[in-house]
Amino acid sequence: MSDENDVLISECSLQRFCTQVLEKIGVPAVEALLATNNLIEADLRGVYSHGVVRFPIYVKRILDGGTNPKPKISVVRETRTTTVVDGDNGLGHLVGIRAMEMAIDKAKDGDCAFVAVKNSNHFGAAAYYAEMAARANMIGFSFTIGAINHMAPWGGAEAVLGNNPFAVAFPTREPFPIVLDMACSVAARGKIIVAAKEGKPIPGDWATGPDGLPTTDAVEALKGFVIPVGGPKGYALTLTVGLLSTMLSGAYFGSEVGDLYAKTTTAQNSGHLFGVLPVASFDDLDAYFDRIQRGIADIRGAKKATGVDRIYLPGEREYLSLVQHREHGIPIGPALAEELSALAKAYHAEFDILT
């Protein structure tokens, strides 16, 4: 959703700005950098709905006491292949990284492993964690409960579900893994937030207004419901992901879920689930990579529809965006740039725009 009015900022400049602000509000330097790199990667990949557009609310939640800037992340239950983690109400990005690291570490001896999380917060883009596993030659899974209830159950007229994103990543010989990263709504609510902030319309099949009727007004859409992808199938999918993300750890679900934006003084108790399948436990790595490369060749070599020049793999466009943005800068909408600039002035942080 970038356009000619956007400004450009380099990855390094954006990283410096975010870490400086987080450190000023009490986040330790190492943890501020981890959370920042996670956040910025979403923008690099062109997933602007989960990038720095969310940074102001993360800051506000820390300032208002709703998020703990110095969490003591702990293990509350553990077996050889499973762990339940208490995130101590820390930044979801940090808690998610630590939890996926635990899953990967457990799987190094060849076992499949899953880590369930409670007492966390909004963790950004689900792909980040699944890709961590793919880089370790494991198939990675990442599930999370939505940080706001904005979807009604199929046939209902009350929002008791989030759009509950999830991701699966497969290691490949390509410079990127194959990654499915999706919300269970037609479009992530974050995309509506970006459109509302920049005063842009949204497609009519993304959301309804508070009257339950489809709308192209992003501001009205934020007052209504997001529409599940595939109708009742999307509803069933978001319910399943929500249950996986919460029922194993005791995180909040349904009516217990707070609002990321409206309830900034109270803990959210967001839940996640991370899983890994170490490829070498199932077959020789080279045999796996040979098979998946043949599959990739089949997909890329398929007959193309009229007007189509290239067939992309899931995660490929995001990788190409990352390469481009690292070289030329990350596009930021003018309204968001103004908001971030105000934060920079308030905390004496550097916010250097390229153009």
Segments making up each domain of the chain, as ranges: 1-64+319-355, 69-185+228-283
Residue 42 — left, alpha, or beta (φ > 0 → left; ψ -120 to 50 → alpha)?
alpha
Which residues share a beta bridge with 118? 86
Q: Are the CB atoms for 134 and 47 separated by under 8 Å? A: no
Tell me: pLDDT of 336 over 90: yes
Class for domain 69-185+228-283, per CATH?
alpha beta
Do the beta carbons of residue 161 and residue 232 sit within 8 Å? Answer: no
CATH topology of domain 1-64+319-355: Hypothetical Oxidoreductase Yiak; Chain: A, domain 1 (1.10.1530)
Cα 206 to Cα 219: distance, rounded to the nearest angstrom:
13
**pLDDT single digits (tens) 87-100:** 999 999 999 999 99
Q: What percent of the chain has pLDDT over 90?
A: 81
pLDDT at 124 over 70: yes
Put simply, whether the predicted model's pTM sits higher than 0.85 gets the answer yes
Does 332 or 5 have the greater pLDDT score? 332
The answer to whether the 1-64+319-355 and 69-185+228-283 domains have the same CATH topology is no
Residue of 118, 112, 110, 111 whose CA lies nearest to 84? 118
Give 152's pLDDT tier (boundaries 50, 70, 90).
confident
Check whether 2 has a pLDDT greater than 80. no
Q: Is 30 helix (H, G, I), strand (E, B) or coil?
A: helix
